[in-house]
Amino acid sequence: GDRVDNDIRPAHQAGLHTALVRRGPWATIQWRTEEAEKLPTFRVESLLELSGLISQFNGSAR
């Protein structure tokens, strides 16, 4: 998601892995907050980065 308050925090509280995508005004505003740095499983500038990170994450979970 691109919002910590609406996307990342609720999903994290539900026990899901999350990705904060830095796009749009809210992600830009919230990007450097403590929550934005510690809650998401991944932080990406572009969705193009996400598949590689997920592959690495899944490989390290075994």
- Cα separation of 58 and 16, whole Å? 14
Q: What is the pLDDT of residues 4-49, one digit of tens each?
A: 999 999 999 999 999 999 999 999 999 999 999 999 999 999 999 9
- What's the pTM value of the predicted model, to 2 decimals? 0.89
| DSSP element (H, E) containing 42 | strand 42-44
What pLDDT shows up at residue 60? 82
- Is 51's pLDDT higher than 90? yes
What pLDDT shows up at residue 61? 61
